[in-house]
Amino acid sequence: MLSVSPDKRRKMESALNQLKKYTVVVADTGDFNAIDEYKPQDATTNPSLILAAAKMPAYQSLLDQAIKYGIAKGGTEEEQIANTMDKLFVSFGLEILKKVPGRVSTEVDARLSFDKEEMVAKALRLIALYEEAGISKERVLIKLSSTWEGIQAALFLELEDKHGVHCNMTLLFSFAQAVACAEANVTLISPFVGRIFDWYKENTDRKTYEPHEDPGVRSVTKIYNYYKKFGYSTVVMGASFRNTGQVKALAGCDLLTISPGLLAELSQDHSTVTQTLTVETAKNCSLQKVHLDEKDFRWQHNEDRMAVEKLSDGIRKFAADAIKLETMLKVRLDLNVLGLVQFPYKCEFVISGENASC
């Protein structure tokens, strides 16, 4: 039997399979039917991904179930919508957990990004819904915006003697956000590679970057090195990729959450993937340890124009998609109340601003 050299074997392997040797691969989608092919360990969702999936015919039964739940809980229309939204997000998470062996990330409403107490309450509500369905909180990451209030909410939720809820800090763009998350001992952060790249492309004269020069890649590399050099337990999950070059440039990062489209490209790519992030390299980097209290955090984050603009933009966009999803659900609730719809109900929604029509 002819043996195959290690170099030739690597060339035969897909970039995706090579990447999995160095990094935990996570699927970034609400379309759980797209997960099977790529065998990720975990999966992440957000309001925009859930909105996109909720419009697909394959998932109308989940909307029907969530609406039934919201109606059964009673209360005002606003309360019914809130309960329906919570149930829908958890329902998608439950289906995803049937496809992945690890954890799913479920996001708290971005409109709560500056209210610590409300973020904590919503997180505990989502965890309760998972536990009612027989899923342990150990298989769930609660996604919170990386505002000062979001980080403090995570600090409270993560305390084992309080709630022991694991958090995924999202919309992370600045080094100050990363330092504050590490000092709060959160479980995981999701720095946004692609959105950082987008900002530099739109706001500077430079329009293209080699992968290792990409400002988003450099940001995640710095955060990874800082965490590993100083022994923080918080893990780094690079997110929001625009191309496979960005993904491969971060091989070795704790986790990378990747869209189905880029997972497909990586599975067809047979170029060599080399580990670029290592604990050994991080230990020898020149970064100095810093401490940030609230005033230091706010100042240092404020000094990063890109991070300030992308954080506020990200919160607005996630909030807008949450409103669109609520509007979609409100139409179906209203039709049900009027007796004009029976479950299961299929409808195509055209959403413009805050108006939805069947």
Q: Which residues does the annotation mark as catalytic? A: 143
Amino acid letter for position 327: T
**Residue 190 in 3-state DSSP?**
strand
247 and 266 Cβ atoms separated by less than 8 Å: yes
Q: Phi-psi region for residue 12, left (φ > 0), alpha (ψ -120 to 50) or beta?
A: alpha
Q: Burial letters for 65-95: b for 16+ Cβ neighbours within 10 Å, e otherwise?
A: bbbebbeeeeeeeeebbbbbbbbbbbbbbbb
Amino acid letter for position 357: S
Query: Taking Cα atoms as reference points, which of 65, 147, 68 lies closest to residue 318?
Result: 147
* Tokens 């479920």 found at: 106
Handedness of CA 335, 337, 343, 344 (dihedral sign): positive
In whole angstroms, give the CA distance from residue 189 to residue 229.
Answer: 17
